[in-house]
Chain A
Amino acid sequence: MIKLTDLYKSYEMGENTVVALNHISLSIEAKEFVAIVGPSGSGKSTLMNIIGCLDIPTSGSYILDGKEISTYNENMLAEFRNQKIGFIFQRFNLLNKLTALENVELPLVYMGVSAKNRKVRALEAIRSVGLESRMYHRPMELSGGQQQRVAFARALVTKPPVILADEPTGNLDSKTGVEVLNLLKELHDQGNTIVLITHDMNIAKKAKRVISLMDGEIISDEEVVPNEV
């Protein structure tokens, strides 16, 4: 599903060149539940941006769902993101002016789905996260956990092959955090490919496989036996 080969990413910071990812190779199969863990500055955000098609590598190859995307331009990346990636952000990143349902519909708007179809699919997605009773509320009227569930519905509505969750519990209390992690697990059980990015090893252990990053390099990549937190 995801295949990174000799991936290198560097940034120009004034006179200095900062290496964010130093020749990383990695592959993630379909239906895997992988956590990428590392402290800040380890390069995990850069890796997430590249996996999420928000950025392209300086060199190396990235094959997502059979397509080499390291040479894609901005528009092709936008289209690919829309179809292949479901984003779940730490800060939910919902549009406050839109209702929960409209937020869930938004990826379909950019996909060019007709209004009638959008509604049907958005309803289905919002039902799958158990929020149909709150779907006409705006994000500000929802709790953090509910907002994150709207974000889940938005990520799921396009039925993307990969769900990318960036610190999904970071802005939640521990109880709601557990709920959200359980939801991720549930999605995995339903056959979704999930990539979870976090700095917290305890959360990472919820996944089936943990990849640790440090200074732009992979320091460990191991299968874990999930233990209950």
Chain B
Amino acid sequence: MKFSQALKMAFSSILSNKMRSFLTMLGIIIGISSVIILIGIGEGTKKDVADSISTMGTNLITINITGGREVTVTTAELTALKSQPGIKEIAPTIASAVTAKLGNQNTTTSIESSLPSYSEIRNVTAQYGRFITQDDVDNRYRVAVVGTDVLDTLSKGTPYDSFVNQTITLNGTAFTIVGILETKGSTTAGSTDNRIIIPISTAQRLLRNKSIRTFYVEAQSPDMVNTAVATLNTFMLSKSNNQANTFRVFNQSDLLTTQTAAADSLTTMLAGVAAISLLVGGIGIMNIMLVTVTERTREIGIRKAIGAKRRDILIQFLIEAITISGIGGFLGVSIGILGGNLYSKFMTKTVVIQPNIVLLAFVFAATVGIIFGLYPANKASRLRPIDALRYE
């Protein structure tokens, strides 16, 4: 018997019982579409995490001083660290909440004071005007580079470039706006646009506070991150009388690894749930095929009596099972892609649908059809014609 003939027979059999065929397919449809949507959401989360971490700067090491005032570092000491193994750039910061006033509007925001190196390390640039310079730091100029959220709060709708060279008042001291920060949007770490960057020397005078509680270090390369971390640990231990609990050194790649691993395990879990529903769908196919075989015992007997071989019957029932799961798989893929896009549109979440996952899901559906169709098909093919013909 030719394959095309077997396919034709399978289709006519499926069509002769549309409702049952559809309900059988439903298990596969739900299984496949949930695999695609859930893995899409998992992969989307992973991409979000990776994106948000990369906006914070690569090769980044953050040092927080958590101990008391006795642990201090100075800008000069930190600048000297640049010659140490693994370290490329270093940016000490002093951060504080301030009241910013522009015209007659005021708002509370945070200042982050640092050196020009902050721009490279934290991946922060000015979209209009300029970033702070070494000259600003050396001369304690009252200059500010302002984030776009601050400007939106103080003067909504004004073009950002028109703020350059205007005066902004921070805690009562007038500063000249020399630049507008690039808009970065919100990340998992909160908005990076709601801040004002000023030279660290100016901040120390403005805030009457010289202590650096956080500084950022850029490693020479991703491979040198560990070397740089070792250097920094040695340095911090020497500054804190070997009190390791008074400071924390952590690097972005560790964070990236941890968060990616978390997102990966989320994806795996979602895929597992979806795979189980696909398995249930497969069992549904087997169940219906077994019922079908029993129902059609007489048909099998007739076909065998007039010359159908075991192989013919096996192929007939197997193709029926594969066709059901194949159509179910196709519908599941379509619904999965549609559902993923709708989810990402209405829930404003990132959903990444990878073609290889779609292909894998479809192949899995067909395989489920083969595996769960094989047992009923084999059972059908083994029926003896004289028994099958006698079946009522």
Q: 1/0 per residue A41-71: CB within 8 Å of B?
A: 0000000010010110000000000000000
Which residue of A has the minimal Cβ distance to B2? A112
Chain A positions within 8 Å of B312 at CB level: 110
Known interface pairs A93-B389, A97-B12. Does A78 touch B304 (Cβ–Cβ under 8 Å)? yes
Contacts of A49 in B (CB 8 A): 386
Q: Is B345 an interface residue (CB 8 A)?
A: no
- Judged by DSSP, the binding face of A is helix
Q: Which of B299, B306, B310, B389 has the most CB of A within 10 A?
A: B306
Pick from A81, A89, A111, A158: contact of B389, CB below 8 A: A89
Whether A110 and B305, one on each chain, are in contact in the complex, defined by CB atoms closer than 8 angstroms, is no
Using an 8 Å CB-CB cutoff, how does the interface string of A90-123 with B read, 1 for contact, 0 for none? 0001110100000000110111100100000000
Q: Does B311 sit within 8 A of A, measured CB to CB? A: yes
Contact across chains for A110 and B386 when beta carbons are under 8 A apart: no
Q: In the complex, what distance in Å separates the CA atom of A130 from the CA atom of B253?
A: 85
| CB-defined contacts of B12 to chain A, threshold 8 Å | 97
B307:A54 contact, CB within 8 angstroms: no
Q: Which chain A residue has the least Cβ–Cβ distance from B389?
A: A93
Which residues of B309-348 are within 8 A (CB) of A?
Answer: 309-312
| Interface: A74 (CB within 8 A) | yes
CB < 8 Å neighbour of B309 from A89, A93, A97, A110: A110
Cα of A48 to Cα of B331 in the assembled complex, Å: 49
Whether the Cβ atoms of A78 and B386 lie closer than 8 Å is no
Closest to A55 in B: B386
- Which residue of chain B has its CB nearest to the CB of A118? B5
Hey, what's the 0/1 contact readout for A174-213 against B, CB within 8 Å counting as 1?
Answer: 0000000000000000000000000000000000000000
B binding-site residues for A, Cβ under 8 Å: 1-2, 5, 12-13, 16, 298-299, 301-312, 385-386, 389
Which are the 3 A-B pairs with shortest beta-carbon distances?
Answer: A82-B307, A110-B307, A78-B309
Closest chain B CB from A117 CB (angstroms): 12
Are B307 and A111 within 8 A (Cβ)? yes
Residue contact B389 to A154, C-beta cutoff 8 Å: no
Known: A54-B386, A74-B310. A93 touches B305 (CB 8 A): yes
Expressed in whole angstroms, the minimum distance between the Cβ of A176 and any Cβ of chain B is 21
Say how far A94's CB is from chain B's closest CB, in angstroms: 8
Main secondary structure of the interface of B (DSSP, over half): helix
Q: How many A-B residue pairs have CB under 8 A?
A: 59
Q: Which residues of A contact B389 (CB under 8 A)?
A: 54, 89, 93
Residues of A within 8 A of B16 (CB): 97
Q: How far is the CA of A115 from the CA of B2 in the complex (A)?
A: 10
Min distance, Cβ B392 to any Cβ of chain A, angstroms: 10
Of A54, A79, A158, which is within 8 A of B385 by CB? A54
Known: A55-B386, A109-B5, A112-B2. Contact between A95 and B299, CB under 8 A?
Answer: yes
Residue of A nearest to B307 (CB): A82
Q: Report if A87-B305 is in contact (Cβ < 8 Å); known contacts: A75-B310, A78-B310, A93-B389.
A: yes
Chain A's closest residue to B13 (CB) is A97
Q: Bound complex: CA of A47 vs CA of B203, how far in Å?
A: 110
The answer for the CA separation of A75 and B310 in the assembled complex, in Å, is: 7
Q: Which residue of B lies closest to A106 (CB)?
A: B306
CB distance from A24 to the nearest CB of B (A): 18
Which B residues are in CB contact (< 8 Å) with A75?
Answer: 309-311
| Given A54-B385, A93-B389, A95-B299, A110 and B310 contact (CB-CB distance below 8 Å) | no
